[in-house]
Structure 1
Amino acid sequence: MIRVVLVDDQAMVRAGFRMILESEVDITVVGEAGDGREAIDVVARSAPHVVLMDVRMPVMDGIESTRQIVAAAGEARVLILTTFDLDD
């Protein structure tokens, strides 16, 4: 079973990913976080195999959160998924 944590500041995005991922028999979502600081705590508690991480979030961005998760020497792999809607 592949254990996944979803990290995004938009609850609807997390819900969409959860729905898609949990339709697979070998994937389970073991946690969610709405910002990078919360992500570090959720990952420490849930020991996921994969973290789907947004970049732009309040409190702590996904880049710094990823740094800290990887530095903790856990087994989790971080996959950064993000969208930017900037005119410039």
Structure 2
Amino acid sequence: MIADDHPIFRAGLRAVLENAGHEVVAEAVNGAEVIERVERMVLDGTTPDVVLMDLRMPVIDGVTATRRLCAMANPVRVLVLTTFETNSAILRAI
């Protein structure tokens, strides 16, 4: 699953992943959508193997969304992709 609020970045990342043989099962434009989609996927039995998460997104940021995903009964793995220049946001995500 790709979580980023920039459509061009999501499209480019999807193309790279799919060309490498990976399946992108969903996309989300903000942290709230990530949480909602993952929760729905868990109920459907199609939990993503990993969420590629941007930290800076509207509605709910990637740090908060990551914490919520990691707090689930069966936590979802999250790989943070960000252009943040400061360590504070990155450390909060860890």
TM-score normalised to structure 1 length = 0.84
Q: 1:14-51: CA deviations, max 9, x gaps?
A: 101100000122x1000000000000112223310010
**Offset of 1:85 from its aligned partner?**
6.8
Structure showing the higher helix proportion among its residues = 2
Structure 2 unaligned regions, length at least 5: 42-46, 87-94
Structure showing the higher strand proportion among its residues = 1
Between the two proteins, the alignment pairs up a number of residues equal to: 81
Q: Could you say if the C-alpha distance between residues 49 and 75 of structure 1 is closer, same or farther in structure 2, counting changes exceeding 3 Å?
A: farther
1:13 partnered with 2:18 = no
1:32 partnered with 2:27 = yes
CA distance in 1, matches of 2:6, 2:85: 15
CA distance in 1, matches of 2:18, 2:76: 18
Q: Report the counterpart of residue 22 of structure 1 in structure 2.
A: 18
Structure 1 unaligned regions, length at least 5: none
CA RMSD, 1 decimal: 1.6
Aligned-residue sequence identity (percent) comes to 49
CA distance in 2, matches of 1:16, 1:85: 22
Q: Which amino acid aligns with 1:13?
A: F
Q: Secondary structure of 2:56's match?
A: coil
1:55 partnered with 2:55 = yes
Deviates more, 1:51-60 or 1:66-75: 66-75
TM-score normalised to structure 2 length = 0.79
